[in-house]
Amino acid sequence: MIETDILIIGAGPTGLFAVFEAGLLKLKCHLIDALPQIGGQLSELYPKKPIYDIPGFPEVLAGDLVTNLMEQTKQFQPGFTLNENAETIQKLEDGTFIVTTNKGTKHHANAVAIAGGLGSFEPRKPLIEDIAFYEDKGVEYFVKNPELFRNKKIVIAGGGDSALDWSVFLADVASEVTLIHRRNEFRGALDSVEKVQELKHLGKIKLITPAEVIGLNGAEHLESIDIDENGAHRNIKTDYFIPLFGLTPKLGAIANWGLEIEKNAIKVNNALDYQTNIDGIYAIGDVNIYPGKLKLILCGFHEATLMCQSVYQRMNPGKKYVLKYTTVSGVDGFDGTRKEAEKAIVKAID
């Protein structure tokens, strides 16, 4: 059983910033995310794309924002349960909660904050016959452990940043990398497109465009794929097929927790603390809905701050909390570190 003060479901930017705000209140956080890495959409969909509306950052790459948030939260030592979905929730008589994932991992928390962005992300699967049979037998929708592909033949399908970036990365891991896209043009960061172009000329990446994978073959494990290349059919031997066509957001099992849902989002009390219709369960960031809601990262940061204040009062009823600016109070990490402004010097002037 993993014990924590606030269990945050979703390790995107809103969930990560909540760790910092909770830490200022001496509250411990643990995060669950369905993806194999932290950062949510920012890491999975557009890590190299710039964001222009984060206060204090005229321009910041999505991946860099995640890195900065992790640096800001590390002193508060958050725990992570990654590559697992929050499946069931049980409210105990003392008002605390037990949340169990699809893999059986149990978490006990005083409060639950759902910060799942647009929901848990599921890969968009190509419409290929028998693809389900080959899942975990040669078909992978995420690159969880690059070493799995060491000295193997792999085929990647897709035309966005993920397909480009993983093709580049795995070119130094796999024995053979083939990138297939149904168009000649790729929609990704310019440096990624140019790197693939360079590796193609060096013979480290095979590029097949325009083409589509139309069939999978193999008795127990994937052995080859069938492709349609401009109307001509070809067969390519491969050990792994990695279709990277983006992710589909879904509320998943959370939709069955008895929460009030509207337009596939969770209704909250925005006049106070972003609490749901169940006392002790909050929803912050893009996953919630209320009058005037804006699905912006900066709004999620604000919601996370008020949520943490509410959880503090819930755990310390009747105890007055005096808000102090971090420039005055400093920041004491759970790891023993302290950040503080330089003290003023008291000295007479002759």
Looking at this protein, which amino acid is placed at residue 255? A
Quick check: 28 and 6 in contact, CB under 8 A?
Answer: yes
CA 317 to chain centre: 33
Q: C-alpha distances in angstroms, 296 versus 102, 117, 279, 303? A: 29, 10, 25, 11
- pLDDT tens-digit profile, the chain (350 residues): 999 999 999 999 999 999 999 999 999 999 999 888 899 888 877 777 789 999 999 999 989 999 999 999 999 999 999 999 999 999 999 999 999 999 999 999 999 999 987 666 678 899 999 999 999 999 998 887 889 999 999 999 999 888 998 999 999 999 999 999 999 999 887 888 999 999 999 999 999 999 999 999 999 999 999 999 988 999 999 999 999 998 777 788 898 999 999 988 999 999 889 999 999 999 999 999 999 999 999 999 999 999 999 999 999 998 887 788 888 888 999 999 998 887 767 777 77
Which of these, 69, 109, 67, lies nearest to 86 by C-alpha position?
109
CA dist 29 and 268 (Å) reads 21
Say what the pLDDT of residue 209 is.
Answer: 94
pTM, entire model: 0.72
192/261 Cα distance (integer angstroms): 40
**Closest by Cα among 338, 297, 339, 324 to 18:** 297
From the CB of residue 50, how many other CB atoms can be counted at a distance below 10 Å? 14
Of 247, 249, 248, 244, give the one whose Cα is nearest residue 182. Answer: 244
Ramachandran area for residue 56 (φ above 0: left; ψ -120 to 50: alpha; else beta): left
pLDDT of residue 25: 95
- Residue 264's pLDDT is 84
**Amino acid, single-letter form, for residue 287:** V
pLDDT of 46 reads 73
Q: What is the pLDDT of residue 321?
A: 79
| Res 298: pLDDT | 94
Q: What pLDDT does residue 120 have?
A: 63
The pLDDT assigned to 328 comes to 82
